[in-house]
Structure 1
């Protein structure tokens, strides 16, 4: 009886030791002992340039990672892949982070991609050629083409609100697709449009007039978004991913335009933009840091005011500091 009891106690202790050691053990691996695959959703935007550079220079391989960069034509398709569990990470905005959590898909922002300092992630409101619009005051009650309920609308409200326009004085026309929105602006179908780079710069090259942009005040940041499940099961892998990403950012800080082939083929930046001397593309990357709390709180407030959030969300619900804290 004593022996059986002692054996049971030993067995319990061994089991506990196995559980404890498992908590600090290696992350799950795929067949053949390789690291588990990390899939990163990639839209054709300049914000993603560090990931393409890291892939091209072999930084993922040097970190012992298996990374697949999965292309998506738009944020809608990328976010759908997040929701379906088809990708682990991607670059988006804080509105997307909040919206996915609001809809029941736990994701977190782990670091800033663009917008750590003014001059990154340029976004502009432009006037059509021959419209006569030259200042934000001229946009009072003038329809502005943008994509409603997105970061486009949030930045437009923020930029014009800072210049004295009241919410009821900011008129909006919904044109979702960026190329169609830019063409409508250049053709005079709309008098004003909100555009991110490189579309904003291309529109200027083709005759549109800059009214206001966010080069003096970032307004909104893009971030690296990761599924919470991925953070909980592949945290070391995500830390290595961002370490490789950071190395690529360091390469880009000297001259991002030297990666012209990647910008043209992957980010779809038009050749006219890359070759322009009168309107050079403003492109800069900062070392990854955590999103700004005040900026995130303003984003949440704006989404509530526009009936885009039903859940109560705060900074800790949307940001995870584990990836860049080590």
Structure 2
């Protein structure tokens, strides 16, 4: 009885101070896409009524484990990750795009090693190419190869999931080529790797998204909308004041320290969601790889209903 009375007293105090505050725990990898969340959090750009708790996660595997156990409400991931989470039942909903490649800021780079024989695009057929198997890196690499006339079936893919280890293998000449993300790819280029191709002209393949657990979306739709409003404010701030965020960028280890002074921020996109054709292409790739037993519908996995008009 006493516990119930105390609970009611606490609830009344919360309501008296401005209403209930819904917590949103978001898992953040040390990647550029996390920057708008940190900016919104530090500048208090999220609307009243939500408390956003950034939870740094060192790897996608750890992030996904926390998501699976209900310890996270939201993440920044990609369409293939959403597909794989939803293959048995709807678990995630993508509600906004976090980043897309642009002509000046590619998101993924296919690089050749500075050691060993020099190879061009055609030289990739028969060459060893390091990726992370069955991830967005794998998907984007195969699609870029196809666009540029290289048969992925003739490439010797080597799975090296950890990005740092993949870069090390490339730089040491243990593999002839590798696909790396921005900004680590820029570091590899700085240290002698050669650019074969990037995704700057194929933005429809490479994009990251904000995804929420389906049960959270169903229970707290207003909180999701408020979160995206805060992200939108942060994106506008980042677009207007690109040079002001260097300290935060390196403090959160979103960019290697060796790129300090030379790295420029990409332009983060204003709110939108992936097209149905983009989703269907990822689903087709997953089906071809036997990662899915049946197609997954666009509706239920992606929605734009939380974006402000």
* The two structures share one fold, judged by TM-score above 0.5: yes
Query: What SS class does the counterpart of residue 195 from structure 1 fall into?
Result: strand
Partner residue, 2:211? 225
Distance 1:118 1:301 in 2: 27
**5 Å matches for 1:1-326?**
32-33=14-15, 34-60=20-46, 62-104=47-89, 106-115=91-100, 119=104, 122-218=107-203, 219-276=205-262, 280-281=263-264, 283-324=266-307, 326=309
Query: What SS class does the counterpart of residue 59 from structure 1 fall into?
Result: coil
Cα deviation, 1:4-25, whole Å, max 9, x if unaligned, reads xxxxxxxxxxxxxxxxxxxxxx
* Cα contact 2:26–2:54 (8 A) shared by 1: yes
Q: CA deviation at 1:167?
A: 2.9
Count of residue pairs brought into register by the alignment: 294
| Alignment CA distance shift 1:31-1:81 (3 Å) | farther
Cα deviation, 1:34-66, whole Å, max 9, x if unaligned, reads 312111111111011100000110112x43321
Alignment gaps of 5+ in structure 2? 1-10
Distance 2:243 2:116 in 1: 32
Partner residue, 1:7? none
Query: What SS class does the counterpart of residue 299 from structure 2 fall into?
Result: helix
* Cα contact 1:109–1:319 (8 A) shared by 2: yes
* Cα contact 1:113–1:221 (8 A) shared by 2: yes
Q: CA deviation at 1:228?
A: 1.1
Higher alpha-carbon deviation: 115-124 or 256-265 = 115-124
| Alignment CA distance shift 1:188-1:262 (3 Å) | same
* Cα contact 2:90–2:300 (8 A) shared by 1: no
* Cα contact 1:47–1:121 (8 A) shared by 2: no
Cα deviation, 1:176-227, whole Å, max 9, x if unaligned, reads 1111111111111111111001110010011111110011211221000011
Distance 2:308 2:288 in 1: 33
Distance 2:35 2:13 in 1: 30
Query: What SS class does the counterpart of residue 27 from structure 2 fall into?
Result: strand
Query: What SS class does the counterpart of residue 315 from structure 1 fall into?
Result: coil
Q: CA RMSD in A?
A: 2.0
| Alignment CA distance shift 1:141-1:129 (3 Å) | same
Q: CA deviation at 1:92?
A: 0.3
Structure possessing the higher radius of gyration over alpha carbons = 1
Q: CA deviation at 1:76?
A: 1.2
Query: What SS class does the counterpart of residue 133 from structure 1 fall into?
Result: coil
| Alignment CA distance shift 1:229-1:132 (3 Å) | same
Partner residue, 2:3? none
Query: What SS class does the counterpart of residue 39 from structure 1 fall into?
Result: strand
| Alignment CA distance shift 1:150-1:251 (3 Å) | same
| Alignment CA distance shift 1:267-1:317 (3 Å) | farther
Calculate the TM-score normalised by the size of structure 1. 0.85
Distance 1:48 1:200 in 2: 18
| Alignment CA distance shift 1:140-1:281 (3 Å) | farther
Distance 1:116 1:208 in 2: 20
Alignment gaps of 5+ in structure 1? 1-28
* Cα contact 1:146–1:153 (8 A) shared by 2: yes
